Structure 1
């Protein structure tokens, strides 16, 4: 399970409205008949239209400055293994999202307990993911893509009379490069923007920075898990515990759907990999044989070359360990593995 929390983008052309983000989330509905479109939902309702989402998020911004983010986005991206486990069923993902938002509310540190009823949010299911420039397969195809583009420019120049050359021979070179590119999908070279095959369902959530009464700030962007500050002469609690949120979100999925999570799929493993690689690999070595084999398969499916997991610490050379860490890190970044 990969979950990311992002604040509203504040660029030079700052737009305080949620309209641009909602428009982005409507991309999969383009060209579809009304009955085939995926609408927004929240904790208690389904089939909410985009205009209502914009209106309610935009109206819930009391006492926020022009440069303050008015909302945050949460992307909930289950791994293919998790999606397969639930049959890639949209209703199960929506059920999980509603449980997840209970966890989100409970992760705020406030004088008064925050519940999901205090949170103004809207969520939307998307069924497709596309390759980005960050994906390992796109990066490894890039050298071929650059050569192909250069040859295509040459063909165009010849056809327009700006250069001389043999177009059929150049096109043969292009075709050869297309065949040689290391990563393909359905016979075509993988490029940025190509729709990924397999189960790719995920959830986008837009959540207001202010609570549903438009009177209290609920910012998950706080630098503190728990802290206290003086406001109007009184001590008040503040903070958002992201670690608690991520861990509880994972446990919620496992409990809700009876999912048996391998070590390399866990948030704990990701933390270890980031902060203490030696401890990560020590834990990997300590797994029972069948779980270690399952871990190896998960890493392999994520595009990480693991010829074998060393059987003891002595075999785990520092250079090899760091190369494997780099590979796992890239897979996490591109969403290829759910840790």
Structure 2
């Protein structure tokens, strides 16, 4: 499971204005079919209008929204059968983790976000195959490529903030501005309290998938393994490789044992069928027909 939050940049990666351009781009595969925390089939125009107006006290050059990309592996997609309904449920669980990861005591309903499931991906300049010249940029990738794009407002849900403020549930003057790209990580004092730990979020999203769908994740598929292989010391990488190899050998041994037991189970079933007593058959007694009397026989001969 890859949980990616692209940084701001030029073109469609620019987050300081309207999200209309990115929403239009994400309509390329199929139009509509956006969903939110509690709604399905939200039209693109409503997505743009809702996200664009959910802002307050942000500078002109400040980011107004962010994108979260949830990309399950092909093994994870096979596990859930690429079921769009399960992917939507998982996305909502991932956004609950997104809210919790800010450390501000908020939850999914304190966010304004819309998401969309896509089933195709194309090669880009960062793909190794493109860099070495094996494939061209923009070529469709093979295999299951289902993933989810989430557009989430930087400002917390203003309608809910106002409602809670009027009810006396909040004593803070302004709504939260929530940036997953902040460098603050669980800070306790200062202007920014909380922050966003991106490494922790990736692990939480991974765990949410495993818990939701009962997925037994091999160590080699974990974020911890990938992060260690990329950023760990040689000693840490070697230790984790050894642990992953032992786990793989243990899994293979269990699978082989299960395969050996399978023929034995079939043999036991066949023996049970062979020795089972045949069901008793009920014999219906033959009905004896009466012999015709002398008078009836004599009439027949006379005819």
TM-score, normalised via structure 1 length? 0.64
Residue 3 of structure 1 aligns with which residue?
Answer: 3
User: In 2 relative to 1, CA 70–7 (structure 1 residues): closer, same or farther, beyond 3 Å?
Assistant: farther
Unaligned runs of 5+ in 2: 162-174, 253-303
User: In 2 relative to 1, CA 7–52 (structure 1 residues): closer, same or farther, beyond 3 Å?
Assistant: farther
Residue 202 of structure 2 aligns with which residue?
Answer: 246
Output aligned runs, 1:50-129, within 5 Å: 50-110=44-104, 113-129=105-121
Are the equivalent residues in 1 in contact too, given 2:15–2:65 (CA < 8 A)?
A: no
Residue 146 of structure 2 aligns with which residue?
Answer: 201
Residue 192 of structure 1 aligns with which residue?
Answer: 137
Name the SS of the counterpart of 2:185 in structure 1.
coil
CA RMSD between the two structures: 2.4
Q: Per chain length, whose mean CA-contact separation is higher, i.e. which structure has more relative contact order (CA < 8 Å, sep 6+)?
A: 1
Report the count of equivalent residues: 235
* Bigger proportion of residues as strand: 1
Output aligned runs, 1:10-25, within 5 Å: 16-25=17-26
Partner Cα separation in structure 2 for residue 217 and residue 14 of structure 1? 14
Partner Cα separation in structure 1 for residue 7 and residue 84 of structure 2? 26
Q: 1:66-123: per-residue Cα shift (whole Å, max 9, x none)? A: 110001100001111111111111111111101111111111122xx11111011110
**1:138 offset after TM fit, Å?**
2.5
Match of 2:232 among 275, 280, 298: 275
**1:19 offset after TM fit, Å?**
0.6
Partner Cα separation in structure 2 for residue 5 and residue 245 of structure 1? 10
**1:14 offset after TM fit, Å?**
7.9
**1:292 offset after TM fit, Å?**
5.4
**1:293 offset after TM fit, Å?**
9.2
Between 245-254 and 190-199, report the one with greater CA deviation: 190-199
Between 73-82 and 213-222, report the one with greater CA deviation: 213-222
Are the equivalent residues in 2 in contact too, given 1:42–1:122 (CA < 8 A)?
A: yes
User: In 2 relative to 1, CA 278–38 (structure 1 residues): closer, same or farther, beyond 3 Å?
Assistant: farther
